[in-house]
Chain A
């Protein structure tokens, strides 16, 4: 009944709003009583009207909702104009620094350098406002500007800024590095690291080094020595001579020591080498045994390795500060290639206890191991990611070798490479890139260090005549 009234009363009452209207509608009745009642109805009607109006406005303001789930995965275009030389004699450094920064970013596979030939304008003053329109025009989405100045005592000062061109905003604070002129490349790597981290949101890896086995000579008489280089193959240095065969160098967690296997005595022995002084010492020298495949624990205080006694090979752990080795496995099969998890609680290793070479994980203190590889083929040289989420490995299947990654429980196996011989993966400090050895077939075949992004993209050759790499942590 009441609901039936509003259509009539609202139209009539709004302009009038008194009982006279009701008098005309309800002649012969008690007008006053109805007037009260109808005033109430009118009030309700007005409220409803107001609510509907508000509701309509709210609807009008309701945003249009879209969902995107198919992004582009392409290198981010960026520009690095030559750094500004703020002092005399800094011109070459300014150019070289910009070149290395650009090379680092481009080499990651995540960025694409825009050629300087395409630049509409340059940067002649580090503090001048950026002409974003000029960089937008060439689709530079990130812009790195920098300046270099030299000081006495062979020192240089490098400062830089990073800009989001389309947002016309500076990304983060500008940074400044001071170092020796000899270390200008490291300064460039640090600039690139900062840019990389700021844009990607993850740790960088440019200011890092790689220790590896340098190879020379024919395949059947190859000379090997331990060498160290920047992650990009520059600044190569030899740490040992080629008088004896050396294998499997591994960086310590702090990057100041290298542990490796040498046949200097005719039997494989493990040595610990100080990178700065190149001094070394034998870690394990138990007569009648062979020790190999060493790797540091995350705390750098102990080492896990394989020890062959008689015909059996098991895993052992030794404290570098002394003490008797601790046997971690006791199986009549071959257990080798151990690698700690980042938290040091577990060890992944390879074993043929199941009849074929497979990967196993066990507590760092030893104990029951669980197999994690179940695919076809043989698995070896597992290495735990510094992030702790993946394990890289070498896989041999149907005559091909692969570098792959899997989750720590063995699930999610993905093969990143395939060739005649790919082996020995090592992780970049940020867990994003894997470096490994690729060897070509034939008598003239040679070993080359390659790197690949964990997505399987950006496969790059790093250095020829090299094998068995181990990536250092980020330098400090």
Chain B
């Protein structure tokens, strides 16, 4: 009993050991398959470009032996072929030479052994194909590999031609495809549509529109696009945040100005209306050509009813001209401010602080007067 037990135990133990160590659960083939090899990914074009040189050592024997006997064709085809894949030129060169018979014969002779077997339908293409084939001469060697792809094309000649034209035809197709895919234009169109919604003010719109969001302003009109972002400078915002709380009284005091403004930024629409309000009175039709080249910046202050204080109008800066021209340009600008400001510019009184002081840059140089 015990003996049997021991024997049985030993047998089972041996069996388990064998199973574990003997490789029952391990496939030696798998180990082989796990070997790692460095590879690189190349395009079909590159691959085909490489093939011509390779094939010589490959399956060439039968093909090489049979045809190439003829002098010119083999030599030329071998040399040209590897280079030719990328260059359609040889095709063109051959075409005119197609007339002379000598070229045709050797070429066909070379190809026949490799390609023709796969291309039973030789009939039609004889004329033009003969011309093309010479360039394809080297291809035959690789045709074996290419064949499966070429099989897709029904006509033998066409198939060969495609290989020769591999670079041209496929490239063109590729570009076309790319363009077609770029017809992702519809996607762009959608994005453009979105931006067109904000079209009037192209620049900085998004940046500045985001800021108002931080400061919840009680009486916030819908189109809150900050024109001149009276940004609270980020001077140590951590401190500023704390200080501003303590400073809230002062902030209120600041706003307690003649206009009673709340500090809310002036909107783009308001700013645009302001610009148009001045611009419609800005007439440079009687200025000299020199004065038209001058850009003047004119500063002035406004009364709470949005009228310019005439006495405050002053020349802040000028560029692009001499003294006399600057004077004339400034006078035209001043005249515009006074004329159109006489009735008020219609700015929101609650934002008086935002437009109490104004500096306007008058740049007429973009107008082609001369």
Shortest beta-carbon distance, B89 to chain A, in Å? Answer: 38
Cβ-neighbour of B289 out of A65, A136, A432 (below 8 A): A432
B362 to chain A: which residues have CB within 8 Å?
Answer: 68, 71
Whether B279 pairs with A110 at a CB distance below 8 angstroms is no
A432 to B291 alpha-carbon distance, docked (Å): 13
Whether B363 pairs with A69 at a CB distance below 8 angstroms is yes
A6 to B246 alpha-carbon distance, docked (Å): 10
Closest to A44 in B: B239
B200-251: which have CB < 8 Å to A? 228, 230, 232-233, 235, 238-240, 242-244, 246-247, 250-251
17 sampled A-B residue pairs with Cβ under 8 A: A6-B243, A53-B247, A64-B274, A64-B357, A64-B358, A65-B361, A66-B275, A67-B360, A67-B363, A72-B280, A76-B285, A110-B285, A111-B286, A166-B339, A167-B335, A167-B338, A171-B331
A41 to B146 alpha-carbon distance, docked (Å): 83
A467 to B240 alpha-carbon distance, docked (Å): 78
Closest to B233 in A: A55
Q: A52-B243, A56-B251, A166-B338 are in contact. Are A66 and B361 (CB under 8 A)?
A: yes
B347-370 to A contact mask, C-beta < 8 Å, 1/0: 000000111011111111011011
A69 to B276 alpha-carbon distance, docked (Å): 11
Task: Tell which of A144-152, A195-203, A226-234, A374-382 binds the partner.
Answer: A195-203
- A265 in the interface, Cβ–Cβ < 8 Å? no
B364 to chain A: which residues have CB within 8 Å?
Answer: 69, 71
A45 to chain B: which residues have CB within 8 Å?
Answer: 243
- Having A72-B280, A141-B335, one finds 10 other A-B pairs with CB under 8 Å, namely A6-B243, A52-B247, A70-B279, A70-B367, A71-B279, A74-B283, A110-B285, A171-B331, A432-B288, A455-B370
Whether A202 pairs with B289 at a CB distance below 8 angstroms is yes
A107 to B285 alpha-carbon distance, docked (Å): 14
Whether A63 pairs with B254 at a CB distance below 8 angstroms is no
Cβ-neighbour of B291 out of A49, A111, A200 (below 8 A): A200
Cβ-neighbour of B328 out of A57, A66, A200 (below 8 A): A200
Whether A66 pairs with B358 at a CB distance below 8 angstroms is yes
A202 to B329 alpha-carbon distance, docked (Å): 12
Shortest beta-carbon distance, B208 to chain A, in Å? Answer: 14
Whether B230 pairs with A59 at a CB distance below 8 angstroms is yes
- B150 in the interface, Cβ–Cβ < 8 Å? no
Shortest beta-carbon distance, A433 to chain B, in Å? Answer: 12
Cβ-neighbour of A201 out of B238, B287, B367 (below 8 A): B287
Whether A55 pairs with B282 at a CB distance below 8 angstroms is no
Whether A74 pairs with B358 at a CB distance below 8 angstroms is no
Shortest beta-carbon distance, B257 to chain A, in Å? Answer: 7
Whether B283 pairs with A73 at a CB distance below 8 angstroms is yes
Max chain B C-beta neighbours (<10 A), residue from A10, A48, A71, A202 = A71
- A62 in the interface, Cβ–Cβ < 8 Å? yes
Closest to A75 in B: B285
B240 to chain A: which residues have CB within 8 Å?
Answer: 52
Max chain A C-beta neighbours (<10 A), residue from B242, B354, B367 = B242
Cβ-neighbour of A164 out of B266, B278, B331 (below 8 A): B331
- B325 in the interface, Cβ–Cβ < 8 Å? yes
What band does the interface of chain A fall in when counting residues whose beta carbon is under 8 Å from B? 35 or more
Report the number of A-B residue pairs with Cβ-Cβ less than 8 Å: 153
Shortest beta-carbon distance, A168 to chain B, in Å? Answer: 8
- B141 in the interface, Cβ–Cβ < 8 Å? no
A164 to B364 alpha-carbon distance, docked (Å): 21
A412-462: which have CB < 8 Å to B? 432, 454-455
A292 to B240 alpha-carbon distance, docked (Å): 84
Whether A201 pairs with B324 at a CB distance below 8 angstroms is yes
A394 to B103 alpha-carbon distance, docked (Å): 64
B139-172 to A contact mask, C-beta < 8 Å, 1/0: 0000000000000000000000000000000000
Closest to B329 in A: A201
Whether B361 pairs with A68 at a CB distance below 8 angstroms is yes
Whether B367 pairs with A48 at a CB distance below 8 angstroms is no
- B94 in the interface, Cβ–Cβ < 8 Å? no
B233 to chain A: which residues have CB within 8 Å?
Answer: 55
Whether B370 pairs with A454 at a CB distance below 8 angstroms is yes
Whether A110 pairs with B286 at a CB distance below 8 angstroms is yes
Whether B325 pairs with A201 at a CB distance below 8 angstroms is yes
Whether B335 pairs with A166 at a CB distance below 8 angstroms is yes
- A3 in the interface, Cβ–Cβ < 8 Å? yes
Closest to B328 in A: A201
Shortest beta-carbon distance, A462 to chain B, in Å? Answer: 21
- B290 in the interface, Cβ–Cβ < 8 Å? yes
Closest to B239 in A: A48
Whether A68 pairs with B284 at a CB distance below 8 angstroms is no
B235 to chain A: which residues have CB within 8 Å?
Answer: 55
Whether B285 pairs with A74 at a CB distance below 8 angstroms is yes
Shortest beta-carbon distance, A207 to chain B, in Å? Answer: 18
Max chain A C-beta neighbours (<10 A), residue from B274, B327, B342, B362 = B362
B265-310: which have CB < 8 Å to A? 266, 271, 274-275, 278-280, 282-291, 299, 310
Whether A73 pairs with B242 at a CB distance below 8 angstroms is no
Shortest beta-carbon distance, B367 to chain A, in Å? Answer: 6
A74 to B364 alpha-carbon distance, docked (Å): 13
- A7 in the interface, Cβ–Cβ < 8 Å? yes
B286 to chain A: which residues have CB within 8 Å?
Answer: 75-76, 110-111, 199-200
B251 to chain A: which residues have CB within 8 Å?
Answer: 56
Whether A57 pairs with B285 at a CB distance below 8 angstroms is no
Shortest beta-carbon distance, A362 to chain B, in Å? Answer: 26
Cβ-neighbour of B299 out of A7, A59, A63 (below 8 A): A63
Shortest beta-carbon distance, A56 to chain B, in Å? Answer: 5
- A60 in the interface, Cβ–Cβ < 8 Å? yes
B367 to chain A: which residues have CB within 8 Å?
Answer: 70-71, 73
- A399 in the interface, Cβ–Cβ < 8 Å? no
Closest to A11 in B: B246
B316-335: which have CB < 8 Å to A? 324-325, 327-328, 331-332, 334-335
A170 to B240 alpha-carbon distance, docked (Å): 52
